[in-house]
Amino acid sequence: MVSHAWLILLMSTTALGQSSGQQQPSEKDLSQKVINPIELLMRLTAENKYSPSLWNSLGEENEVEGVAVVPFKAFNRQNLFRAKAFFETSKPGGTHGLSELQISDLLLSERSWGTFGAGISAELTSESSSSLGTLAPGPAIGASVKHGQWNYGFFNRNFLSDTLAQTELQPILGYAFDRKWSAEIGDAQYTYDWKKHRVTLIPLSAQLNRIVSLESQDIHLPFRAQYNAANNSGSDKWTLEAGFSLIMRKQ
């Protein structure tokens, strides 16, 4: 069910991208735009997430994440659609495959102080031997402020159902050194599980970004190191993540 939904969403992002009226950002702006998760910037990203150590557990984990971000205009409002798929490639228990899909759509509004967005989010988990697949919708909200070379704010998503209920809060904090290099916290999701009544993820992370601009393609190369301060047995402790992101230019 999750794999079929991902294929449909991927086709939808292509169609949305073709109808998007966004102007292509200049090269000098890209290093600052990539540090803002609610920026109107169309991109396709693939990242590999390797966890060499787990809390109170032997073994290691590896996961591949695919992300599609598509800005589009609907009902005379700017929208930002995001779909993120999680592919488990290695786990101590031997499981692998597409594990979950997260989507969100924000209606964005430019304010005097920055950008504000509000909309919906949803998580779709796959069926396993111990649990059924779950669809968990919920509200999403975000805000970002640019101050010189700095960018700061937050991005919040909520996934709520009978079997899954959690809140994710991603702080936005980044600095653009020049048109090629920037640094940020990265995709650090502070997570509270309402079913378990505790915080399950406290990420302490740092990410370095490099922009490579070819003749017809801009590429974002991120590298992130992350430590999870929440001691939950079996969860990731240290994580190294690297990937590439294709920034789609307007044709």
Q: Note the pLDDT tens digit of each residue in 80-137.
A: 999 999 999 988 877 788 889 999 999 999 999 999 999 999 999 876 555 667 899 9
**HSE-up of 162 (CA within 13 Å, CB side)?**
4
Q: What is the pLDDT of residues 21-59, one digit of tens each?
A: 444 455 558 899 999 999 999 999 999 999 999 999 888
Are the C-beta atoms of 175 and 183 separated by less than 8 Å?
Answer: yes
pTM value is 0.85
Question: All domains of the chain, ordered by start, with CATH?
Answer: 2-247 (2.40.160.40)
**How many CB atoms neighbour CB 101 within 10 A?**
22
| Residues in contact with 63: Cβ distance below 8 Å, sequence separation at least 6, in sequence order | 48, 49, 51, 86, 87, 88, 89
Instruction: Quote the radius of gyration of the chain (alpha carbons, Å).
Output: 18
Tell which residue, 191, 211, 214, 209, has the closest CA to residue 201.
Answer: 191
The pLDDT, as a whole number, for residue 127 is 67
